[in-house]
Amino acid sequence: MNNQKKKPRPIEENSAPVAHGADDLPVVRVTSYNLELRNKDGFIGDKANKAAFRNTIEAWRKRVRSGGPDPLGDVPTDGLSKKEIDAVLEEEETEAASLVLAAIDDFATELAGILARYLREEAWKGTERIVVGGGFKDSKAGLMAIARAQIRLKAEGLKVNLVPIAHHPDEAGLIGAVHLIPSWMLKGHDAILAVDIGGTNIRAGIIKLNLDDQPDFSKARVWKSELWRHADDEPRRTATIEYLVRMIEALIAKATKAKLALAPVIGIGCPGIIAADGSIARGGQNLPGGNWESTHFNLPEALRKAIPDIAGQPTFVIMHNDAVVQGLSAVPRMTDVARWAAVTIGTGLGNASFARKET
């Protein structure tokens, strides 16, 4: 038996179609993403993001203070970390825990109402499962809110399963990128580069494909990653791209040192509506340092210019909405449903819906 690793297949620049924000992906169709539904108060998604949960806690604190001491003391709500909020919940029958539980219930009610509204949209009809990602999921309070929202959906007679995303939210936004890329572009390669751009953080990583273990990417794993909390630095857009390029170059160097065969592809998840040419049509208002929606700016082009080749082959950049990419990380676990969706609870409330393609 010949156990020698196959030589990576060279990719010709004119043979690799790059469709940013595409509906038709290798194994699924994206039926919708970034739904921008409104009511009299504005976008409905603004009622179920990280800030909205904090606002709900603060509203309860104000109400409780009208009748006595604040169970959470003098610490500002914005100063409470996820770990501190979760620690309060461990106190069980205290007033502080009861206050946080009341906020969780209110938030879950808002989330369930938003999901029920999405499910009335044509693109979401027939959805059997909704996976919930984003940083909020990575906490006890977040998991409790998801479970309570599930109960409310069931109580409304909506037969849909609401489940936390399987991967850690920091990794889901990277691992999902493998499902943006045609399988033939990955043959003979060990890994790809992936980037997850958010309103608070930018994360870049190397995803080991592990296709010899499972050809459906169910064994894909983050091998190395770099995190930059840009919200602390408030950089301009140009500085943001320069820093991102340095992150990617550092990862390429690590892969080279480890003799890991990188495919010459960078998969990106980014907030907003992604046009076919890779520009951000709208929805990039939370991105750092300037107008990412400018007609004079194109992130994939900027990265290709800065990193023209990877391992001696021309660089290709494929970009989609960040909620789509997080949702794609769940593809191997969705083989038993025909239609499913994803929401990400973070700086905003991202959303995407999918239909499995017949094989």
Q: Are 134 and 181 contained in the same domain? A: no
Q: Are 198 and 138 contained in the same domain? A: no
Structural domain that includes position 97: 38-164
pLDDT of residue 42: 87
* Assigned token pair, 233: 């630095």
d(CA 293, CA 168): 29
pLDDT of residue 26: 92
244 residue type, one letter:
L
CATH of the domain at 173: 3.30.420.40
pLDDT of residue 5: 43
The answer as to whether 257 is a domain residue is yes
The answer as to whether 7 is a domain residue is no
The answer as to whether 354 is a domain residue is no
Query: What are the backbone angles phi and psi of residue 234, rounded to the nearest 5°?
Result: 50, 55
CB 170 within 8 A of CB 194: no
The answer as to whether 237 is a domain residue is yes
Q: Are 138 and 209 contained in the same domain? A: no
Q: Are 235 and 324 contained in the same domain? A: yes
Q: Are 100 and 208 contained in the same domain? A: no
The answer as to whether 26 is a domain residue is no
Burial class (CB in 10 A: 0-12, 13-18, 19+), 125: exposed
* Assigned token pair, 321: 């909405």
Q: Which of 164, 192, 217 is the last residue of a domain?
A: 164
The answer as to whether 340 is a domain residue is no
Q: Are 189 and 117 contained in the same domain? A: no
pTM: 0.91
The answer as to whether 154 is a domain residue is yes
How many domains does the chain contain in total? 2
pLDDT of residue 85: 97
Q: Are 183 and 268 contained in the same domain? A: yes
Q: Are 120 and 70 contained in the same domain? A: yes
Q: Are 129 and 197 contained in the same domain? A: no
How high is the mean pLDDT in each 10-residue block of the chain (359 residues)? Answer: 45 57 94 93 91 97 97 96 96 94 98 97 97 93 97 97 93 96 90 93 96 88 94 89 96 97 96 93 83 88 96 94 96 96 92 90
Pinpoint the alpha helices (H) of the chain. Answer: 50-65, 82-89, 95-119, 140-155, 169-175, 237-257, 299-306, 322-328
Q: Are 180 and 317 contained in the same domain? A: yes
Helix (H, G, I), strand (E, B) or coil at 271: coil
Q: Which of 129, 164, 199 is the last residue of a domain?
A: 164
d(CA 26, CA 181): 7
The answer as to whether 355 is a domain residue is no
Residue 22 carries which DSSP code? -
pLDDT of residue 10: 53
Q: Are 179 and 112 contained in the same domain? A: no
The dihedral over CA atoms of 137, 28, 320, 19, expressed in degrees to the nearest 10, equals: 170
Q: Which of 164, 191, 225 is the last residue of a domain?
A: 164
Q: Are 224 and 196 contained in the same domain? A: yes
pLDDT of residue 358: 76
28 residue type, one letter:
V
